[in-house]
Amino acid sequence: MRVLLSGASGFVGRRLHRALLDRGDLVLGIDLNCTPLVKSGDALDFFRTDDRRWDLAIHCAAVVGGRASIDGSPLGVATNLALDSWYFRWLIRTGTPRAVYFSSSAAYPVALQQPGEIHRLVETDIDYEQPGRPDATYGLAKLAGEQLARYAEAAGCRVHVLRPFSGYGEDQDEAYPFPAFIRRARERQDPFEIWGDGSSTRDWIHIDDLVGATLAAVDQDATGPINVGWGRDASFDELAGLVTAAAGYRPELKHLPTAPQGVHHRVCDPKRMLDVYQPRVSLEEGIHRALAA
């Protein structure tokens, strides 16, 4: 296939780029950060001006940066609204027949992610007629993007909507919790700092499985939003314990209750994903890979 990939130098984009090339697709990757394989360019400008038609478009360009960015730069994160709206307008203008839109678990109502019993988020927990309040402007932009994807579908473009949970990998920026924990373990930090009280849970999905689930959804023409996660709830204290044990030491855990920590529980029901893809990289294996990198 001829594939347009925006945000091709980012954490998700560069892994997708490699996977697409490995399977023989012809890929044009664009990103503000150019590489020998990626064309330098602003995705927003591209969507406004380029009229070429592609077999498939995958939109990874976004303003991200972890919890500190989501809470500390709400207007900057809201730039995603412009990126996404022009993406969908470009799809329809060019007649691109198939597309991928990465939404996020942040689009789910925060009311379902509070302390207490863990609610495993299922795709139908987002009711487009009464969606509930998502997580900050990041989640709001993703929820709006899902709505725009429905309009693009109605106009003739098949849009595969994926809702990744806590993606991680060995080459992720340290603004995110997983690579920050890996660095602390490599340095054998003691005490070992954890934002919040350590009891918040996340559903960790390795970047290889995120890429695998994305391509499986495209290849199998899977419809509807799809959660991408294991359905395993792992607290930050548990993650710290797994990382430090794998690194061969057992430090004191130092909690930072005033640091940004987001919602309390964010765990998915993965049944819809399991219809098209079985994840392969367990959290323990992902930790081993990261420490060995």
**Strands (DSSP E) found in 126-274:** 158-164, 166-168, 192-195, 201-202, 204-206, 226-228, 234-235, 253-256, 265-268
Alpha-carbon gap, residue 24 to 172, rounded angstroms? 26
Average pLDDT over residues 259-263: 87
Average pLDDT over residues 136-160: 95
* Paired tokens of 278: 């079985």
Residue type, 94: T
Q: Are 132 and 109 in contact (CB under 8 A)?
A: yes
For residues 229 and 174, the model is more confident at 229
Give the confidence band of 69 by pLDDT, cuts at 50, 70, 90: low
Place of tokens 């919890």: 67
Place of tokens 């809201």: 78
The pLDDT score that the predictor gives to residue 71 is: 59
The pLDDT score that the predictor gives to residue 183 is: 97
How distant is the alpha carbon of residue 145 from its chain centre? 14
Using CA atoms of 223, 225, 231, 234 in order, give the dihedral in degrees to the nearest 10: 150
How distant is the alpha carbon of residue 129 from its chain centre? 24
The sign of the dihedral angle between the CA atoms of 28, 29, 33, 35 is: negative
Cis peptide, bond prior to residue 131, ω within 30 of zero: no
The pLDDT score that the predictor gives to residue 138 is: 87
How distant is the alpha carbon of residue 87 from its chain centre? 18
For residues 281 and 137, the model is more confident at 281
* Paired tokens of 223: 């419809």
* Paired tokens of 203: 């559903």
| Digit-coded pLDDT (tens) for 73-126 | 667 667 888 999 999 999 999 999 999 999 999 999 999 999 999 999 999 999
Q: Are 75 and 135 in contact (CB under 8 A)?
A: no
| Digit-coded pLDDT (tens) for 197-250 | 999 999 999 999 999 999 999 999 998 899 999 999 999 999 999 999 999 999
| Digit-coded pLDDT (tens) for 13-63 | 999 999 999 999 999 999 998 888 898 899 999 999 999 999 999 999 987
- Tell me the HSE value of 3 on the side-chain side, using a 13 A CA sphere: 26
Lowest mean pLDDT among 67-76, 80-89, 147-156, 281-290: 67-76
The pLDDT score that the predictor gives to residue 74 is: 63
Q: Are 165 and 107 in contact (CB under 8 A)?
A: no
The pLDDT score that the predictor gives to residue 224 is: 87
Tally of CB atoms within 10 A around 188: 12
Q: Are 185 and 231 in contact (CB under 8 A)?
A: no
Place of tokens 């969908």: 88
